[in-house]
């Protein structure tokens, strides 16, 4: 049985924020959520989150997630923090201790650490740093870890040690129950140090087995917004690398932001400054122009999205052509070869095979058949100020430019709507619909002259 404790009570003074540090985001998601995602991947049976500063904000932000909040009203040290969880721990379990402000630890690294826990051993994640300043130092005797000394308590000899404590450890809960209540705060900072349990473990002949992360960034915490930005870049670089390895061309890997997940088929090309949010799935040969924002959408093979287009909760079949400057809002569903051009907004719109809405239109709450041509400036008037109504345009219809289709209304199959019409009545197959003032030409009109 695995229980995870996440320390998240600190204030994060250096963020200079009204929000608790762990709610600040990386890739659009609070640091703490990243840590919770790792916990879920480790199949933790129970997750305890220690909260303090901004406790209510943290509770609210995580409402709906299956975690046990434990409040630490006064932050008396990392050992004191974990002590608060002791009454909730199952003595039979293994406990993994994580930090709410260390978002990028890999699940494999944590699994490796957890595997070091037994009745006679515990796991400690350490790292060797070129500049160990500020960290607790790992003290070894004949190769075995015997203690951690905090920077402020270390002697000059110990300060030279470059192997440092990341803070992450895994240990039998029963051992924690034995050691934590005996911690003292008789040290340079007057805090109850969690790190003091290492010497206790050593004294009890519980071996301290160390693991190291593959990359240093896995154990970096965020203390200020500069470090936040650095970790964001590291994260985004990884996403970009994964996409390239998966067969996508990124015109500049440094100018792509993924705040969710993105899947690519073969030979996709993504131009600069695109942002992907939620779950985005691209088929094969999808081309995305610069400055596009794509959220929770699925895009079929061969579809081309030109510059500055925004797609949200939309589904596009193969070989569609979008943009530039198109906005597809939730519920836009395009069949193959559909075309949505510049300054066109769609919402809850089903658009049939090969149909085109090329310029300056609003198409909302609409069902459009195959082979339909919607002229420039066409508006589906879907809202009467209270209710939304549907526009249906059947296969092969042609809607002249600058028409207003006042829903609910149906335009029949292969029907033609004359430009500038205000269509309020249903029509049938093959009809010509003209609903505009008749033109009159007045012969020999004399223009007014200035008096
Ligand atoms: C701690 C370790 C140090 C390690 C370093 C890695 C101790 C005593 N020292 O030092 O060996 O090298 O992390 O970054 O553990 N927190 C609480 N409640 C508290 C105190 C802290 O929730 O009462 C949380 C903080 O919000 C923070 C984390 O625990 O997220 C670490 O606390 P901090 O005081 O920053 O420890 P360090 O001095 O960095
Ligand atoms: Ca710290």
Q: Which residue has the tokens 């790292």?
A: 127
Kindly state whether residue 49 falls inside one of the protein's structural domains.
Answer: yes
Tell which atom from ligand 1 comes closest to the C-alpha of 193: 8
User: What tokens appear for 174 in the block?
Assistant: 């029963």
Kindly state whether residue 401 falls inside one of the protein's structural domains.
Answer: yes
Question: Was 123 annotated as part of a binding site?
Answer: no
- Does the C-beta of 101 come closer than 6 Å to ligand 1? yes
Give whole-number Cα distances, 84 to 44, 73, 195, 427, in Å. Answer: 19, 10, 16, 72
Q: What is the pLDDT of residues 319-370, one digit of tens each?
A: 999 999 999 999 999 999 999 999 999 999 999 999 999 999 999 999 999 9
Mutate to test the pocket of ligand 1, among 58, 75, 78 (most ligand atoms within 8 A of CB): 78
Is 125 exposed, middle or buried (CB count within 10 Å of its CB: 0-12, 13-18, 19+)?
buried
Q: What is the pLDDT of residues 135-179, one digit of tens each?
A: 999 999 999 999 999 999 999 999 999 999 999 999 999 999 999
Taking 90 as the threshold, does the pLDDT of residue 304 lie above it? yes
CA 46 / ligand 2 centre spacing (Å): 25
Which of 53, 175, 287, 359 is catalytic? The answer is: 359
Instruction: Based on the fold, state whether residues 306 and 322 are members of the same structural domain.
Output: yes
- Does the C-beta of 194 come closer than 6 Å to ligand 1? yes
Instruction: Based on the fold, state whether residues 108 and 53 are members of the same structural domain.
Output: yes
Q: What is the CATH number of the domain that holds 400?
A: 2.160.10.10
Taking 90 as the threshold, does the pLDDT of residue 130 lie above it? yes
Kindly state whether residue 257 falls inside one of the protein's structural domains.
Answer: yes
Q: What is the pLDDT of residues 408-442, one digit of tens each?
A: 999 999 999 999 999 999 999 999 999 999 999 99
Q: Containing domain of residue 49, as a range? A: 2-219
408 cis-preceded (ω within 30 degrees of 0) = yes
What are the backbone angles phi and psi of residue 207, rounded to the nearest 5°?
-65, 140
Kindly state whether residue 438 falls inside one of the protein's structural domains.
Answer: no
**pLDDT on residue 197:** 98
For 144, other C-beta atoms within 10 Å of its C-beta total 12
**pLDDT on residue 11:** 87
Kindly state whether residue 442 falls inside one of the protein's structural domains.
Answer: no
Give whole-number Cα distances, 225 to 11, 237, 244, in Å. Answer: 14, 18, 28
Q: End of a domain among 203, 219, 235?
A: 219
Kindly state whether residue 19 falls inside one of the protein's structural domains.
Answer: yes
Q: Are 339 and 353 in contact (CB under 8 A)?
A: no
Alpha-helical regions (H) of 92-224: 107-114, 156-159, 173-179, 197-203
Q: What is the sign, positive or negative, of the torsion defined by CA atoms of 104, 107, 112, 113?
A: positive
For 140, other C-beta atoms within 10 Å of its C-beta total 15
Instruction: Based on the fold, state whether residues 63 and 32 are members of the same structural domain.
Output: yes
- Mean pLDDT for all residues in the chain: 98
Q: What is the pLDDT of residues 385-416, one digit of tens each?
A: 999 999 999 999 999 999 999 999 999 999 99
324 cis-preceded (ω within 30 degrees of 0) = yes
Q: End of a domain among 182, 200, 219?
A: 219
- Does the C-beta of 135 come closer than 6 Å to ligand 1? yes
- Does the C-beta of 12 come closer than 6 Å to ligand 1? no
Question: Was 249 annotated as part of a binding site?
Answer: no
Strands 163-172 and 94-99, bridge-based pairing? antiparallel
Closest CA to 34 of 111, 107, 95: 107
Kindly state whether residue 441 falls inside one of the protein's structural domains.
Answer: no
Taking 90 as the threshold, does the pLDDT of residue 235 lie above it? yes
Q: What is the pLDDT of residues 262-291, one digit of tens each?
A: 999 999 999 999 999 999 999 999 999 999
Strands 29-30 and 25-26, bridge-based pairing? antiparallel
Give whole-number Cα distances, 301 to 131, 160, 288, in Å. Answer: 49, 57, 12
**pLDDT on residue 191:** 97
- Does the C-beta of 85 come closer than 6 Å to ligand 1? no
Residue 359 among the catalytic residues: yes
Q: Are 213 and 106 in contact (CB under 8 A)?
A: yes
CA 168 / ligand 1 centre spacing (Å): 10
Q: What is the CATH number of the domain that holds 171?
A: 3.90.550.10
Tell which atom from ligand 1 comes closest to the C-alpha of 192: 8
The tally of domains found in the chain comes to 2
Instruction: Based on the fold, state whether residues 16 and 159 are members of the same structural domain.
Output: yes
Closest CA to 345 of 361, 332, 369, 358: 361
Instruction: Based on the fold, state whether residues 324 and 423 are members of the same structural domain.
Output: yes
Instruction: Based on the fold, state whether residues 82 and 199 are members of the same structural domain.
Output: yes
| Banded pLDDT at 75 (limits 50, 70, 90) | very high
Cα(290)–Cα(178) distance, integer angstroms: 59
Instruction: Based on the fold, state whether residues 56 and 167 are members of the same structural domain.
Output: yes
The H or E element containing residue 72 is none
Question: Was 349 annotated as part of a binding site?
Answer: no
Instruction: Based on the fold, state whether residues 306 and 211 are members of the same structural domain.
Output: no
Instruction: Based on the fold, state whether residues 170 and 235 are members of the same structural domain.
Output: no
CA 99 / ligand 2 centre spacing (Å): 10
Q: Is the pTM of this model over 0.85?
A: yes
- Does the C-beta of 193 come closer than 6 Å to ligand 1? yes
Q: Are 126 and 160 in contact (CB under 8 A)?
A: no
- Does the C-beta of 276 come closer than 6 Å to ligand 1? no
Instruction: Based on the fold, state whether residues 203 and 67 are members of the same structural domain.
Output: yes
Question: Was 155 annotated as part of a binding site?
Answer: no
Instruction: Based on the fold, state whether residues 157 and 260 are members of the same structural domain.
Output: no
CA 365 to chain centroid: 29
Kindly state whether residue 403 falls inside one of the protein's structural domains.
Answer: yes
Instruction: Based on the fold, state whether residues 307 and 170 are members of the same structural domain.
Output: no
Question: Was 382 annotated as part of a binding site?
Answer: yes
Q: End of a domain among 185, 219, 253?
A: 219
Residue ID of nearest Cα to ligand 1 atom 37: 135
CA 51 to chain centroid: 23
């Amino acid at each position: 049985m695995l229980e995870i404790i996440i320390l998240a009570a600190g204030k994060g003074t250096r963020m200079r924020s009204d929000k608790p540090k762990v709610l600040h985001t990386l890739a659009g998601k609070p640091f703490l959520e990243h840590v919770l995602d790792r916990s879920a991947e480790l199949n933790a049976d129970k997750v305890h989150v220690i909260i303090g500063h901004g406790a209510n904000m943290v509770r609210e932000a995580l409402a709906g997630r299956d975690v046990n909040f434990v409040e630490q009203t006064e932050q008396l040290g990392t050992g004191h923090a974990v002590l608060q969880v002791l009454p909730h721990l199952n003595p039979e379990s293994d406990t993994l201790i994580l930090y709410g402000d260390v978002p990028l630890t890999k699940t494999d690294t944590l699994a490796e650490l957890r595997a070091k826990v037994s009745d006679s051993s515990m796991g400690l994640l350490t790292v060797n740093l070129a500049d160990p300043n500020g960290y607790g130092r790992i003290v070894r005797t004949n190769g075995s870890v015997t203690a951690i000394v905090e920077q402020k308590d270390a002697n000059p000899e110990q300060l030279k040690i470059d192997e440092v404590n990341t803070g992450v450890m895994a240990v039998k809960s029963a051992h924690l129950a034995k050691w934590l209540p005996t911690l003292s705060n008789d040290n340079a900072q007057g805090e109850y140090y969690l790190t003091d349990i290492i010497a206790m473990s050593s004294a009890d002949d519980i071996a301290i087995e160390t693991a190291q992360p593959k990359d240093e960034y896995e154990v970096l915490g965020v203390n200020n917004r500069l470090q936040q930005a650095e970790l964001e870049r590291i994260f985004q670089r990884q996403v970009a690398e994964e996409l390239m390895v998966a067969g996508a061309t990124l015109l500049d890997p440094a100018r792509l932001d993924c705040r969710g997940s993105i899947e690519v088929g073969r030979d996709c090309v993504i131009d600069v400054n695109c942002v992907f949010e939620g779950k985005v799935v691209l088929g094969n040969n999808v081309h995305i122009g610069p400055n596009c924002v794509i959220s929770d959408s699925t895009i079929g093979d061969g579809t081309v999205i030109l510059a500055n287009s925004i797609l949200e909760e939309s589904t596009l079949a193969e070989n569609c052509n979008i943009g530039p400057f198109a906005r597809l809002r939730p519920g836009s569903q395009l069949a193959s070869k559909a075309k949505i051009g510049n300054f066109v907004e769609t919402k809850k719109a089903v658009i049939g095979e090969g149909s085109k809405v090329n310029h300056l239109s609003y198409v909302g709450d609409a069902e459009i058949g195959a082979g339909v041509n919607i002229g420039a400036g066409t508006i589906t008037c879907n809202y009467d100020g209270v209710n939304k109504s549907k526009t249906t345009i059947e296969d092969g219809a042609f809607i002249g430019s600058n028409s207003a289709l006042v829903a609910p209304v149906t335009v029949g199959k292969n029907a033609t709507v004359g430009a500038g019409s205000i269509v309020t009545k249903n029509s049938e197959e093959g009809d010509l619909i003209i609903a505009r003032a008749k033109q009159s030409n007045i012969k020999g009109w004399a223009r007014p002259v200035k008096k």
